[in-house]
Structure formats: C-alpha cells, structure tokens
C-alpha cells in the first residue's frame, strides 16, 4: 500500500504529477474535515525564505484551472491558512505569490 498526502505534486520546473485520484482523501490540510472536501497540491521545494519559480506557480494555477474549475478563488488557501501553527507554503506566500497564483487560475 502506498500513501500520498497530496493529490498533486508540482516540481520547480512546472512538471505536475498526480499522486492521488480526487476520489481518495489525502492528509494534506492537517484538518480532517477540510481534507474530506479539498484537493491537496504540494509545491516541491523549501520556500521558507524564497518564492517558488514562476513555472511552478503557473503549473499549479493550470492544475487548479483544469481540474478544479468549480473552486472559487476565495477557496484557494495555503496550508498556513488552515493551520496557523504551520509556515508552509512559506513566509512569502500571503505577501508575494498567492495573488499571482489565484489570479492565474
């Protein structure tokens, strides 16, 4: 048995890999109720002190646009917005690149 926490993994070069089918529940949000009604998209890399490369952000936006067109832009949240005790997806997510991601969806 293989366990993946996320439905998608986005590499720095923009390669998107599906890890879980949407019918499976991942453990990505750290909150069971949110996990049961959401899809987890992980960006590979450590972005605590940097922003992800543009191809990675654009690829994440394409995945959301293509596979989850029913999701409102207000519902696109980072891990740290679900669990305040976490820093993922990095210090600059809310200040610098979340708007870029959401506006590209």
Chunked mean pLDDT (size 10), the chain, 105 residues: 84 97 89 91 92 96 96 91 84 88 92
Whether 93 maps to a domain, the answer reads yes
Rounded to 5 degrees, φ, ψ at 100 are: -60, -45
Domain boundaries, position 38: 8-104
Q: Is 2 a member of any domain?
A: no
Tell me, what's the pLDDT at 1? 52
Asked whether residue 1 is domain-assigned, the answer is no
> How is residue 53 written in tokens?
């490369």
pLDDT given at position 86: 82
On whether the CB atoms of residues 55 and 12 are closer than 8 A, the answer is yes
């Amino acid at each position: 048995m293989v366990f993946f926490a996320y439905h998608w993994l986005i590499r720095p070069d923009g390669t998107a890999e599906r890890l879980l089918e949407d019918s499976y529940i991942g453990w990505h949000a750290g909150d069971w109720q949110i996990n049961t009604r959401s899809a987890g998209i992980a960006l590979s890399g450590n972005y605590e002190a940097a922003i992800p490369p543009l191809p990675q952000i654009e690829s994440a936006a394409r995945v959301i646009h293509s596979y989850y067109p029913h999701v409102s832009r207000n519902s696109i949240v980072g891990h740290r917005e679900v669990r305040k005790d976490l820093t993922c997806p990095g210090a600059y997510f809310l200040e610098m690149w979340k708007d870029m991601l959401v506006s590209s969806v």
